[in-house]
Amino acid sequence: MGKTKGLQQRIAGKTKQAVGEIVGDQDLHDDGKAQAERGRAEQDKPSELNPLKKLKQLT
């Protein structure tokens, strides 16, 4: 996956989270929150195209 896929996951997750909150479906809300977190983790991964970004994580 990449940063774009991570962003898509975050948007979908936040949408599920909001819909779950509006309709009162706690399972949908929790699923959306988990998906948004996975998307954030994907976006925070260092890109293969920028090898120096890994250096930032080490410092």
| Domain extents in the chain | 3-58
Question: What is the model's pLDDT at position 13?
Answer: 95
More confident residue, 51 or 24: 24
Residue 47 tokens, joined: 């890109």
More confident residue, 29 or 47: 29
Measured in whole angstroms, the distance separating CA 48 from the mean position of its chain's CA atoms is 18
Mean pLDDT of 40-55: 71
Mean pLDDT of 27-39: 95
CA–CA dist 39, 47 (Å, integer): 14
Collapsed DSSP state (helix, strand, coil) of residue 1: coil
Question: What is the model's pLDDT at position 54?
Answer: 61
- pTM for this model (two decimals): 0.71
